[in-house]
Structure 1
Amino acid sequence: MPTTCQRQGEQRAHVRRWRDPGDGTLQAAHAPKPSPVILKPSVSECLRRSAFSAKAQGTQVTYAPLYRLFFTFLWQRGLDWNEASEDDVEDWEDWRRRGATNPAPVDGGTWAKEQAALKLLYGIAAKRGLVPANPVTLASPTDVKTSDVKWLSPRAFRLWRNVGLGGMLPSGLEDEAWRGRSAGRDMAYADLMYSSGLRRREGGTLLLCELPALGRRNYYAGRVGQGVAKRAGYTFYVGHPALQRVEGYRMSTRALAVARARRHGVYDRLPDLRIIQSVSRAGRVRWRSRDGRAGESALGRLTAAERMLLFVEGEDGLEPAMLWLTESGLPLRYTSWTKVFERASDRCAAAGLEVFATPKMLRHSMALRTLIALHNALDRRLGLTPAERLHYEEVYGQVWLMVKDMLGHRSDQVTRDVYLEPVRGLQLESLLGDDHNPVNAEKIAELAARTGLILDAA
């Protein structure tokens, strides 16, 4: 069986994309210097040209270390990856979930993910004739637990943020024992995510040049690049208070981290950084390396790993192009936010509070608030009852179908997503940017009390 250290080491591997140098070695590019992952060429073929490569980057990041864990288990049995049998998979499942020598057995939800990962790989291998049959035939686990709570009310979010990330006491007073030095950064990230509904990777890999310019509007539009989005790039919207807090972080905590890194020569010791020369109106980024090599790419196609290499040069010296930085002034890996959120929730629990949050919960909460706000705005503007609003939604929904036919689209979703994106933007700015239409906190509190599905705070 793999040792505890081996398992933890494998789970910390962050595989971003695969490169095959032709010698049977796959390299995982997740840092300035890629680390080798030794695999058979046949496995390389399965991962590079198959349903695996079509998976979202986040899924690939999750699945790749699981394959390495299982291959280590087979290797210790004297087996190659393509010699796994149904018995081997059953033994692996038994050890992972119930093994006496396993100090940290996984639950049903975790095993379900591992099972899906293995089933995908061996399904691909079976189609290519690399294995006689897919050995993953176990039934899906029946003890998969999913939380009913996926949303946070505005006041529950504020309590979790202030206590968990900001070091406040539940009473609202400052905690003199608080020693957190990244509160400004963490609270700004949480506000951005709660306001915009961005995914963890999308919000965690933003570049300074991708931030909307702060002005006097209620909502601002930004763009998520295809290289870090789950499937395709799209427009996101962030409220003024959240963007203002992000700007405050940039001018304070972030600026101090950059100045500290410059004093200690941190950036001077980075050999593989890319210094941005220009960003065109068409979204082309041009850079040069320390040795004079030049390169360019579409801004939207930059991956998370590539973004971490980008720097800008100002009057005072170099600084990372990424928004979120560590205390040492280096780009923060977007995966680190999970631990930040866990520590914040643990702090709330230690203070006797029953509030917690994950990045995905903030995304769900944004969707719920927006839905309620839009319905509220339409009702107020048109003076409609809920029944009348439903009637108008059914009638005006036909408009999309008529435009679809005029443009010759097969689906009205294409019309909505592509050609009428500016209309959607105008609608959102008009409805959500109305000072007389605040987010209906009372309605959310009412839903929380009635359904028990929304985490609220008294």
Structure 2
Amino acid sequence: MFVAPDYRVDGLLSLYVQSGAFRRHTPETKRNYATDICLFLAFLWARGLAWTQAVERDLEDFEHWRRFAAENPRLIGGSKWNRELAALVGLYAWAARAGHVPRSPVGTRQVLGPYGAVVSAPVARAKDARRSNVHWLTPRAFRRWVEVGLRGQGGGGLPLPGWCGRLEDRNVAFVDLLYSSGMRRSEAGSLLLFEVPRLRLEGGRYCVGRIAAAVTRSKKARTFYVAAGVVGEIETYVDSSRALAVRRAQRAGRYEDLPRLRVVTDVAGGVRPTVRWLDHNGAAGERRLTDLTVADRMALYTEGPHGLEPLWLWLNERGLPLAVDSWEGVFRTANDRCRQVLTPAGGPFPDPHRVYAPYATAHACRNSFALFMLVVLNHLMDRRFGLTPEERRDFRLLYGDPWRMVQDLLGHASRETTCDLYLAPVADLQLRALLAAAPDASEPGLASLDGVFARLARESEGIQDVDDLMMPAVGGAA
């Protein structure tokens, strides 16, 4: 709902957000586009114009203010401008088709598309847009970020004074899941209890799970792999702090009065399971598991030994499903804590090229997983198997090369996305030469590859690495 500064609800914009074109966007895109549209509306309001009165000159002035005006303290780059422009293209294209505006203020021109077709493109589209703002963390940088940001540690591996560790086990299990599996935030954040892989009785380093099509960006189900140790962390969380939050919510009666409640009665169907439920009115419903959206999943509950409890894996302190977007706050808080504890006091930095305080996002965990898997798969091929160039070529013909394996793990439709965006730091490096000086793979733990990742970080832009000697003996504020 769009409300003007004079507190009036804009009826036309309400119709737009109910249109099929807007409703087909993902929830994240809807939120981003609504924010972008509001910025332009505020700009027009300051000029005494309604959005239906905008002309091309207004859009030109808006672009100048957003991107180039010296008076603007927060200029944006080409990528952000292109997203805002896409939001306005969608709005005004709908308004022009419906006859609410005589013409769109977004000027267009005809260009040749990627497959030879002639398509319309906005004239104001930025040419200097970065294809992606991608960051990576080496394994030891990620471990440092978890230790300080999520576990509250200072020097000596001990928590700093004042650290309370609320929901520490939940937060660590979630970020380890992202880093270990390469899942997107929405994919990992919308898992149901019975979708968590089970530890294999016969052992093994990785467990296998399935991501539902409705929560993926491509709308195609895919398999994911996660380290057995991370599955153990999730099970510990389920049996401890999650179980406690559920019991408290049950005693407070929070589940019975939920406006959208679906009590699952059956999950059956083998390879393509169907979820059946009863809603709060007693009406029966069913849907294939892979077709359940994020909103559908948050409404699923089951009858436990002490009453209703959520099937949604990740819960807040009140025992209710934690919204996927709420993980942004967890990362933001952890980043702030790393900056407070690890940044040298008083400045300036002794070494401006060194990463003192690692910075992570949910997508950086996914990027880092891709980088880690590429290096490890090449390491296994080059060192453990001792392949010659000819043997390696034959191995690729039979099983596919590491780039294709990482592409499959990430669920990318094209190899170019994997190579150009996620693995750009090593796309132009000769990995055989890079790994020539790597320690023997038989050395225990990930430390055997720390030297490889350290060299990658030195020779590439965007990879965060830390020195094991950088941990302060006494940290800053908790």
TM bracket (short chain): 0.7 to 0.9
Per the alignment, residue 204 of structure 2 pairs with 217
AA paired with 1:67? I
Q: Distance in 1 between matches of 2:277 and 2:357?
A: 48
| CA drift at 1:130 | 5.8
Between 247-256 and 185-194, the greater mean CA deviation after superposition: 247-256
Tell me, yes or no, if structure 1 residue 114 matches structure 2 residue 84.
Answer: yes
Q: Distance in 2 between matches of 1:412 and 1:158?
A: 30
Alignment equivalent of 1:179, drawn from 134, 148, 164: 164
Tell me, yes or no, if structure 1 residue 343 matches structure 2 residue 345.
Answer: no
Q: CA RMSD in A?
A: 3.7
Per the alignment, residue 371 of structure 2 pairs with 368
Judge conservation of contact 1:377–1:437 (CA < 8 Å) in 2. Answer: no
- Describe the shift of the 1:377–1:101 C-alpha distance in structure 2 as closer, same or farther (beyond 3 A): closer
| CA drift at 1:76 | 7.3
Q: Distance in 2 between matches of 1:165 and 1:398?
A: 37
Judge conservation of contact 2:212–2:290 (CA < 8 Å) in 1. Answer: yes
Q: Distance in 2 between matches of 1:329 and 1:308?
A: 12
| CA drift at 1:67 | 3.1
AA paired with 1:230? R
Q: How does 1:208-247 map to 2 (within 5 A)?
A: 208-215=193-200, 216-231=203-218, 232-247=220-235
Q: How does 1:16-95 map to 2 (within 5 A)?
A: 38-39=11-12, 43=16, 47-48=19-20, 50=21, 55-71=25-41, 74=44, 81-93=51-63
Aligned residues: 392
| CA drift at 1:267 | 1.4
| CA drift at 1:225 | 1.1
- Describe the shift of the 1:43–1:75 C-alpha distance in structure 2 as closer, same or farther (beyond 3 A): farther
| CA drift at 1:116 | 2.3
Q: Distance in 1 between matches of 2:97 and 2:260?
A: 40
Q: Distance in 2 between matches of 1:176 and 1:40?
A: 51
| CA drift at 1:122 | 2.9
- Describe the shift of the 1:90–1:251 C-alpha distance in structure 2 as closer, same or farther (beyond 3 A): same
Q: Distance in 2 between matches of 1:379 and 1:244?
A: 31
Judge conservation of contact 1:42–1:130 (CA < 8 Å) in 2. Answer: no
Judge conservation of contact 1:379–1:389 (CA < 8 Å) in 2. Answer: no
| CA drift at 1:163 | 0.6
Per the alignment, residue 386 of structure 2 pairs with 383
SS of alignment partner, residue 110 of structure 1 = helix
Between 108-117 and 282-291, the greater mean CA deviation after superposition: 108-117
Q: Distance in 2 between matches of 1:39 and 1:101?
A: 33
Q: Structure 1: any 5+ residue segments left out of the alignment?
A: 10-35, 400-410, 414-433
SS of alignment partner, residue 360 of structure 1 = helix
| CA drift at 1:284 | 0.7
AA paired with 2:29? T
Per the alignment, residue 407 of structure 2 pairs with none
Tell me, yes or no, if structure 1 residue 456 matches structure 2 residue 452.
Answer: no
Per the alignment, residue 442 of structure 1 pairs with 451
| CA drift at 1:217 | 2.5
Q: Distance in 1 between matches of 2:164 and 2:399?
A: 53
Q: Distance in 2 between matches of 1:319 and 1:69?
A: 41
Q: Distance in 2 between matches of 1:307 and 1:284?
A: 13
Q: Distance in 1 between matches of 2:327 and 2:61?
A: 34
Q: Distance in 2 between matches of 1:258 and 1:312?
A: 12
Q: Distance in 1 between matches of 2:251 and 2:180?
A: 35
| CA drift at 1:150 | 1.3
Judge conservation of contact 1:373–1:438 (CA < 8 Å) in 2. Answer: no
SS of alignment partner, residue 157 of structure 2 = coil
AA paired with 2:89? K
- Describe the shift of the 1:163–1:199 C-alpha distance in structure 2 as closer, same or farther (beyond 3 A): same
Q: Distance in 2 between matches of 1:112 and 1:309?
A: 35
Per the alignment, residue 111 of structure 2 pairs with none
Q: TM-score, normalised by structure 1?
A: 0.74
- Describe the shift of the 1:449–1:69 C-alpha distance in structure 2 as closer, same or farther (beyond 3 A): closer
Q: How does 1:251-330 map to 2 (within 5 A)?
A: 251-281=239-269, 282-330=272-320
